[in-house]
């Protein structure tokens, strides 16, 4: 799952990729365009709506205003007519008061009440006026004459009343509380006896104080006590010169006016209403009543009306409603106008016009919604169409997306299937089925690729076949070479062995003969000495050949022990003395003889001496007369270094590369020096077998220095470990086996520690300070086990291992990783990579040996 490319962040399936491309290139831009168009459509719709609404609103306002103005002027005319009649009546009354009266018969239907009021007891036969002279002032003959004068107007009053339907009654009130009123009614019953008329509003509103201009004036509206609904009175003062005789009045019922008004058809289902000077609602339709949540006032208690000047229930007053204060101000300030109001949560448009003198206002009220109903309807339709188009778009879009998705799927299948097919072909080729058929593919480029793949498979098959054959040949050749090598070693071994027996006899008898020296003459002695010398040389040659073949065949055993190197050097020096004298070469020692502290080394004593003899004898042989060979021993950081240096002929750079190879002898001019050409080869092998190293520094014509390094033996913790380890059976089995173990480590201390430890088991170590140098070593020699440090400078342990397992032969070498990374995941990773063991530092030797034993044991089986 972790490595599944379908699930990793950046990798897309083909379908997904095509789909993404469509989405970015087609679907998104389309969505944006459609969205843009929709926005434009709805924006235009909104704009159009607000423009139309403004226009309609203005139109409606204007129309309403015109209508109210028109109707108001009609009512005004009617009211003006009444006012004109009042003016006429006033002049007639003033005239009547001035003229003499002779006929007093009109007074016959009058008499005094018990309280002193003078009043009409009955109506005339044709219907006349009623008279009530309150007993406020005494009524004498003069007053009776005044009654008779006024009653002369009875006919005129009747005429005026009958010709104008608005007029309900006409009357004249005097300063001394006379009331003459048409038509007749029972005044005694109705009026209080001592009524002081100037105290009433229909009198004082026209007096000198309130009406100094002596105009005809209208009183406020009031409810008719006789049940005629709202009434108003138009009153006018009657002066005799500057004396106010009284006030005439005409009562007008507004029922007739309102009847028309209320039946008035008003557009947009609106209605009309009439309000008085102070805001009292005088007329209102039924819808209006509902709208204002009122029931119209029609009846009122009669006595209430007479005793109170005016009757104004608060809820019927438009101006006293708090919510209408704005409207009230506008109406009071302007004779004409219109504005929107909020009436119990509903929007209304109100247009008003003044009725002139009377101070009343005609209002037309229309629900605002009705004005816009059409616009709203139209808008809703457009919106509806818009939504329908939107739905259609969405549906089309959905269809389009489904189509695109299908298209993407078909396209991806068309490409993915051939690709999968090719993948399968590639896999089959990988598995060794090199001959494949080109599948049926419709896409040209893919078909080309598939054809190339199939061709490649064929070529690969052929090449592989050739390679296999080559490998077979190579393996055969290698086998043969190995066999030949083995035969050579065996031959050398048996030959040497066979040669030793006769040589034994030759040398033995030569020595016996030489022991009886005195029996021989000079020439015989020389001959036998020659035979002895030649025999010894031959023996040395045979021994060296034998050693070399043993080493090469892996039969050479070393017996590791701890000994003082100085003793070995000392023995070699005494052995070499004759040769040095013979060659006139001096041997010097540094720290090798006189130093009191022993230089302990862990190696094979015999073989170490053999190594030293080879080096020293070469130093002497390849020297010049009066030359010198220097042997120096020193310890550096747990290493014991032995240097054999001469100032002889030296070795060229070129030759330095081959001196350690067997049977390579260098050309030292005409001088012939005895030698076999195996000495250095054996020396190198022996040193390495003992866990040491050997290298050469030389300058042609100046001299050579061979440097041998062994592990110095230090008494301490390790010796204890040795004791413990030696008890373990497993390690006993490891001991002194000719295993070739390669340790790759760049830290010399670690390297030395392991080397030291392995020495205790008698196992030498092949050392590499880097992974790169390890490969060089692996080129030259075979290795049974690799100990691998992970944190190497340069190529690290993991990289080394990856490279190692590329090689089919070397990948079989078991590898023990030795690393400082001791975390759980380090170990896990180490084992996952394929290391046979993963050990952590500090190294537990027991664990290491146990692992080594396990892996080496398998190898042996």
By the criterion CB under 6 A, which residues form the site for ligand ADP? 614, 618-619, 622, 646, 648-649, 651, 659, 665-666, 668, 675-681, 704
Gap between the Cα atoms of 186 and 57, Å rounded: 56
Write down how long the chain is. Answer: 861
**Which residue is nearest to ligand ADP, using beta carbons?**
675
Rounded to the nearest 5 degrees, what angle is found at the Cα of 824, between the Cα atoms of 818 and 826? 45
Q: With respect to ligand ADP, which residue has the nearer C-beta, 291 or 645? A: 645
Residue 714 C-beta: closest distance to ligand ADP, Å: 31
Please identify which residue in the block is written with the tokens 């009409």: 120
Residue 471 C-beta: closest distance to ligand ADP, Å: 36
Residue 665 C-beta: closest distance to ligand ADP, Å: 4
Q: What are phi and psi of 21, to 5 degrees?
A: -65, -45
Q: With respect to ligand ADP, which residue has the nearer C-beta, 486 or 674? A: 674
Coil, strand or helix at 706: strand
Residue 619 C-beta: closest distance to ligand ADP, Å: 5
Gap between the Cα atoms of 471 and 61, Å rounded: 110
What is the 3-state secondary structure of 739-789?
CCEEEECCCHHHHHHHHHHHHHCCCCEEEECCHHHHHHHHHHCCCCEEEEE
Residue 656 C-beta: closest distance to ligand ADP, Å: 10
Residue 542 C-beta: closest distance to ligand ADP, Å: 13
Gap between the Cα atoms of 479 and 486, Å rounded: 10
Q: With respect to ligand ADP, which residue has the nearer C-beta, 105 or 672? A: 672
Q: With respect to ligand ADP, which residue has the nearer C-beta, 618 or 685? A: 618
Q: What are phi and psi of 169, to 5 degrees?
A: -155, 155
Q: With respect to ligand ADP, which residue has the nearer C-beta, 244 or 659? A: 659
Closest CA to 541 of 473, 492, 482: 492
Decide if 838 contacts 832 (C-beta within 8 A): no
Instruction: Name the CA dihedral angle for 770, 773, 778, 779, rounded to a multiple of 10 degrees.
Output: 160
Q: What are phi and psi of 102, to 5 degrees?
A: -110, -40
Q: With respect to ligand ADP, which residue has the nearer C-beta, 135 or 648? A: 648
Token representation of residue 165: 């339907």
Gap between the Cα atoms of 169 and 159, Å rounded: 11
Residue 696 C-beta: closest distance to ligand ADP, Å: 9
Q: With respect to ligand ADP, which residue has the nearer C-beta, 536 or 803? A: 536
Q: With respect to ligand ADP, which residue has the nearer C-beta, 610 or 756? A: 610
Q: With respect to ligand ADP, which residue has the nearer C-beta, 603 or 611? A: 611
Residue 706 C-beta: closest distance to ligand ADP, Å: 7
Q: With respect to ligand ADP, which residue has the nearer C-beta, 454 or 651? A: 651
Q: With respect to ligand ADP, which residue has the nearer C-beta, 681 or 766? A: 681
Q: What are phi and psi of 515, to 5 degrees?
A: -65, -30
Q: With respect to ligand ADP, which residue has the nearer C-beta, 30 or 641? A: 641
Q: With respect to ligand ADP, which residue has the nearer C-beta, 479 or 588? A: 588
Residue 607 C-beta: closest distance to ligand ADP, Å: 16
Gap between the Cα atoms of 35 and 47, Å rounded: 18
Q: With respect to ligand ADP, which residue has the nearer C-beta, 183 or 677? A: 677
Residue 495 C-beta: closest distance to ligand ADP, Å: 19
Burial of 660: CB neighbours in 10 Å, binned 0-12, 13-18, 19+:
middle
Torsion over CA: 630, 634, 636, 641 (sign): positive
Decide if 222 contacts 312 (C-beta within 8 A): no
Decide if 63 contacts 267 (C-beta within 8 A): yes
Q: What are phi and psi of 174, to 5 degrees?
A: -110, 165
Residue 657 C-beta: closest distance to ligand ADP, Å: 12
Token representation of residue 80: 């003006």
Could you give the count of Cα atoms lying within 13 Å of 856 in the half-sphere of its Cβ? Answer: 22
Q: With respect to ligand ADP, which residue has the nearer C-beta, 157 or 681? A: 681
CA distances from 822 to 705, 801, 840, 841 (A): 43, 19, 6, 8
Residue 536 C-beta: closest distance to ligand ADP, Å: 14
Residue 676 C-beta: closest distance to ligand ADP, Å: 4
Q: With respect to ligand ADP, which residue has the nearer C-beta, 367 or 650? A: 650
Q: What are phi and psi of 170, to 5 degrees?
A: -130, 145
Rounded to the nearest 5 degrees, what angle is found at the Cα of 835, between the Cα atoms of 832 and 841? 105
Residue 776 C-beta: closest distance to ligand ADP, Å: 22
Residue 612 C-beta: closest distance to ligand ADP, Å: 13
Q: With respect to ligand ADP, which residue has the nearer C-beta, 675 or 738? A: 675
Residue 500 C-beta: closest distance to ligand ADP, Å: 19
546-551 LR contacts (CB < 8 Å, sep 24+): 546/492, 546/493, 546/496, 546/497, 547/682, 547/686, 548/492, 548/662, 548/678, 548/681, 548/682, 548/685, 549/488, 549/489, 549/490, 549/492, 549/493, 549/496, 550/493, 551/682, 551/685, 551/686, 551/689
Token representation of residue 175: 């300063």
Closest CA to 232 of 200, 276, 195: 276
Closest CA to 775 of 752, 805, 750: 805
Coil, strand or helix at 563: strand
Gap between the Cα atoms of 527 and 733, Å rounded: 53
Q: With respect to ligand ADP, which residue has the nearer C-beta, 378 or 641? A: 641
């Amino acid at each position: 799952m972790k490595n599944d490319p379908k699930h990793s962040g950046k990798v897309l399936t083909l379908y997904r990729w095509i789909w993404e491309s469509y989405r970015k290139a087609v679907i998104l831009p389309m969505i944006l365009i459609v969205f843009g168009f929709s926005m434009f459509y709805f924006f235009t719709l909104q704009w159009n709506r607000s423009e139309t609404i403004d226009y309609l609103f203005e139109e409606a306002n204007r129309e309403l205003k015109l209508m109210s103005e028109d109707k108001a002027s009609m009512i005004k005319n009617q009211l003006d007519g009444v006012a004109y009649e009042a003016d006429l009546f006033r002049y007639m009354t003033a005239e009547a008061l001035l003229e003499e009266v002779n006929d007093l018969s009109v007074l016959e239907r009058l008499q005094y009440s018990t309280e002193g009021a003078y009043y009409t007891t009955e109506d005339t036969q044709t219907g006349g006026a009623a008279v009530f002279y309150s007993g406020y002032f005494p009524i004498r003959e003069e007053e009776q004459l005044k009654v008779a004068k006024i009653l002369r107007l009875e006919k005129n009053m009747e005429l005026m009343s009958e010709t104008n339907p608005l007029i309900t009654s006409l009357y004249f009130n005097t300063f001394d509380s006379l009331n003459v009123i048409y038509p007749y009614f029972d005044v005694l019953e109705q009026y209080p006896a001592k009524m002081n008329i100037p105290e009433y509003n229909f009198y004082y509103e026209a007096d000198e104080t309130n009406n100094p201009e002596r105009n005809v004036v209208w009183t406020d509206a009031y409810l008719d006590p006789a049940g005629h609904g709202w009434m108003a009175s138009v009153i006018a003062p009657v002066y005799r010169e500057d004396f106010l005789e009284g006030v005439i009045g005409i009562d007008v019922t507004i029922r007739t006016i309102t009847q028309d008004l209320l039946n008035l058809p008003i557009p947009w289902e609106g209605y009309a209403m009439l309000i008085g000077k102070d805001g009292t609602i005088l007329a209102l339709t039924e819808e209006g009543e509902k709208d204002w949540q009122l029931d119209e006032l029609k009846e009122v208690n009669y006595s209430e009306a007479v005793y109170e000047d005016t009757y104004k229930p608060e809820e019927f007053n438009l101006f006293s409603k708090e919510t209408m204060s704005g409207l009230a101000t506008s109406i009071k300030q302007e004779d004409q106008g219109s504005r929107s109001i909020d009436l119990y949560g509903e929007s209304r448009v109100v247009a008003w016009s003044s009725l002139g003198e009377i101070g009343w206002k005609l209002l037309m009220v229309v629900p605002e919604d009705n004005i816009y109903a059409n616009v709203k309807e139209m808008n809703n339709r457009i919106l509806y169409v818009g939504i329908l188009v939107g739905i259609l778009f969405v549906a089309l879009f959905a269809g389009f997306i489904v189509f695109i998705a299908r298209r993407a799927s078909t396209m991806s299948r068309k490409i993915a299937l051939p690709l999968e097919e090719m993948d399968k072909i590639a896999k089959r080729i990988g598995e060794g089925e090199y001959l494949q058929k080109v599948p049926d593919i419709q896409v040209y480029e893919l078909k080309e690729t598939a054809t190339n793949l199939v061709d490649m498979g064929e070529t690969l098959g052929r090449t592989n076949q050739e390679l296999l054959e080559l490998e077979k040949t190579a393996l055969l050749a290698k086998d043969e070479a190995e066999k030949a090598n083995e035969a050579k070693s065996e031959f050398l071994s048996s030959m040497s062995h066979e040669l030793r027996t006769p040589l034994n006899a030759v040398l033995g008898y030569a020595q016996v003969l030489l022991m009886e020296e005195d029996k021989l003459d000079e020439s015989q002695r020389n001959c036998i000495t020659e035979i002895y010398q030649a025999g010894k040389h031959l023996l040395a040659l045979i021994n060296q050949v034998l050693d070399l073949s043993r080493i090469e065949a892996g039969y050479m055993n070393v017996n590791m022990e701890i000994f003082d190197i100085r003793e070995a050097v000392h023995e070699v020096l005494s052995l070499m003395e004759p040769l040095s004298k013979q060659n006139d070469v001096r041997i010097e020692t540094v720290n090798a003889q006189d130093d009191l502290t022993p230089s302990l080394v862990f190696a094979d004593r015999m073989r170490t001496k053999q190594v030293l003899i080879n080096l020293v004898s070469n130093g002497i042989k390849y020297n010049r007369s009066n030359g010198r060979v220097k042997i120096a021993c020193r310890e550096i950081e747990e290493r014991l270094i032995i240097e054999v240096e001469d100032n002889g002929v030296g070795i060229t750079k070129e030759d330095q590369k081959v001196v350690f190879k067997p049977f390579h002898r260098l050309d030292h001019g005409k001088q012939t020096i005895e030698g076999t050409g195996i000495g250095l080869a054996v020396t190198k092998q022996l040193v390495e077998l003992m866990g040491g190293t050997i290298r050469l520094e030389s300058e042609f014509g100046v001299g050579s220095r061979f440097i041998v390094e062994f592990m110095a033996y230090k008494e301490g913790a390790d010796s204890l470990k040795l004791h413990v380890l030696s008890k373990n059976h497993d390690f006993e089995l490891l001991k002194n086996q000719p295993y070739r173990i390669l340790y790759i480590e760049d830290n010399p201390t670690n390297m030395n520690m392991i080397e030291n430890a392995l020495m205790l088991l008698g196992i030498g170590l092949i050392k590499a300070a880097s992974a790169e140098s390890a490969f060089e070593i692996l080129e030259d020699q075979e290795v049974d086990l690799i100990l691998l440090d992970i944190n190497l400078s340069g190529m690290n342990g993991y990289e080394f291992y990856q490279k190692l397992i590329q090689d089919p032969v070397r990948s079989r070498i078991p590898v023990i990783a030795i690393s400082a990374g001791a975390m759980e995941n380090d170990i896990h990773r180490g084992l996952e990579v394929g290391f046979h063991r993963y050990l952590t530092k500090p190294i537990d030797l027991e664990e290491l040996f146990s692992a080594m034993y396990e892996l080496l044991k398998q190898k042996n089986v």
